[in-house]
């Protein structure tokens, strides 16, 4: 019973973390000691007794906390956007510095090339943001759900930060809060596909290229955060 309660509490915090850009749900799972069990469940479908309370905690926190975020966004849009942009900038800087200091192997020219490419792509995403922010097509929502959920499985990477960087974060939050299944259904299908297809691949990729991915994502989110801040203050 103690384990079920611990997994339920972990699910609550994982759910909250996935709603806030800059906080990694997988990292929170590692902190609670449940990340490995989640991957085992996704890979081998073992451990339903612990995964069910974790999922209940996640769904509960996502649906309750999304209403709070949606309220803040609708009523304090300017302040909220500044807060989120600063959060993303801080998260990007933290990822870059933390990875650089801990991993000697990625230092040097490759680090800066990786970072440069990520920042260029992050700056370009401001244009992409405008293209998909109004009425995303069903297939696009499926793809975004797939990518966001794949990021959720990577320790150190925030799926909601990705959604914010491509301009659909507010759409997804509003859809969760208002139970807009026209958006949630295709987005959820994409997430489910990622949960089925990606765990084993993510494990292998993370072991081999994990730190380089963290550098790239750090640069991407840093650039997206700067874009967001500039769009708010100018």
Report domain extents, the chain: 66-233
Kindly report, residue by residue over 12-51, the tens digit of the pLDDT: 988 888 887 767 777 788 777 787 778 777 777 776 777 8
Report the alpha-carbon distance of residue 70 to residue 170 in Å, rounded: 8
Residue 130 pLDDT level (bands cut at 50, 70, 90):
very low
Query: What is the rounded distance in angstroms from the CA atom of residue 56 to the CA atom of residue 134?
Result: 31
% of the chain residues with pLDDT over 90: 7
91 contact partners, CB below 8 Å, separation of at least 6: 21, 22, 23, 158, 161, 218, 221, 225
103 band by pLDDT with thresholds 50, 70 and 90: low
pLDDT of residue 156: 65
Model confidence, pTM: 0.70
Region 72-76: mean pLDDT is 83
pLDDT level of residue 134 (50, 70, 90 thresholds)? low
Q: What is the pLDDT of residue 100?
A: 72
């Amino acid at each position: 019973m103690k384990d079920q309660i611990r997994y339920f509490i972990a699910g609550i915090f994982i759910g909250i973390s996935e709603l806030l850009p800059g906080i990694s749900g997988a990292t929170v799972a590692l902190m609670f000691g449940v990340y490995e069990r989640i991957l085992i469940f996704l890979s081998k479908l073992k451990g339903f007794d612990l995964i069910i309370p974790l999922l209940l905690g996640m769904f509960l926190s996502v649906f309750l906390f999304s209403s709070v975020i949606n309220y803040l966004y609708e009523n304090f849009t300017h302040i909220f956007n500044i807060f989120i942009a600063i959060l993303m900038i801080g998260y990007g800087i933290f990822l870059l510095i933390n990875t650089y200091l801990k991993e000697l192997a990625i230092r040097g020219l490759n680090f800066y090339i990786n970072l440069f490419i990520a920042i260029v792509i992050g700056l370009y995403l401001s244009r992409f943001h405008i293209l998909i922010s109004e009425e995303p097509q069903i297939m696009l929502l499926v793809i975004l759900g797939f990518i966001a959920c794949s990021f959720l499985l990577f320790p150190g990477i925030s799926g909601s930060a990705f959604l914010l960087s491509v301009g659909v974060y507010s759409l997804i939050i509003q859809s969760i809060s208002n139970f807009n299944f026209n958006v949630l259904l295709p987005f959820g299908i994409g997430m489910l596909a990622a949960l089925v297809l990606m765990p084993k691949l993510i494990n292998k990729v993370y072991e081999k290229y994990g730190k380089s991915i963290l550098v790239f994502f750090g640069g991407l989110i840093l650039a997206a955060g700067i874009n967001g801040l500039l769009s708010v203050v100018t």
